[in-house]
Amino acid sequence: NAGVTQTPKFQVLKTGQSMTLQCAQDMNHNSMYWYRQDPGMGLRLIYYSASEGTTDKGEVPNGYNVSRLNKREFSLRLESAAPSQTSVYFCASSDGTGLKYNEQFFGPGTRLTVL
């Protein structure tokens, strides 16, 4: 099992460019999440998908869109990148049911720089 995979690992964009970050999990989890991590800020939730077919805003959704393509895949899109979106982006997944419903498992991250 690969767990949670993310592509790309690194990306440099110019202001105004668009891109999509890809995430896939092979644990048959119901729920998936996108976070950003900035120095001294911990992890902040951008968007999440409680189950296939649903998506909802998290704490910092402005400037982002998401698509839950199927149960395995959850993508994050930046339509017009801004320097404030320079960050490390993590995808995570959880079972969403049962006793361990909120134990989240993280991917390796995408390091994004917007110039």
Q: Is 26 in the site for another protein (CB under 8 A)?
A: no
Can you tell me the distance from the alpha carbon of 78 to that of 104, in angstroms, rounded to the nearest whole number? 24
* From 23, 33, 60, 87, residue interacting with another protein (rule: CB under 8 A): 33
* From 68, 104, 112, 114, residue interacting with another protein (rule: CB under 8 A): 104
Q: Cα angle at 108 between 40 and 27, to 5 degrees? A: 125
CB 32 within 8 A of CB 68: yes
Can you tell me the distance from the alpha carbon of 41 to that of 10, in angstroms, rounded to the nearest whole number? 20
Residue list 37-76, contact with another protein (CB under 8 A) = 40-45, 48, 50, 58-59
Q: Is 102 in the site for another protein (CB under 8 A)?
A: yes
Task: Please give the torsion angle defined by the CA atoms of residues 84, 59, 38 and 52, in that order, rounded to the nearest 10 degrees.
Answer: -100
3-state class (DSSP) for residue 17: coil
Cβ closest to another protein, residue 1 vs residue 99: 99
Cβ closest to another protein, residue 43 vs residue 69: 43
Residues making contact with another protein (CB under 8 A) = 4, 31, 33, 40-45, 48, 50, 58-59, 90, 92, 94, 96, 99-109
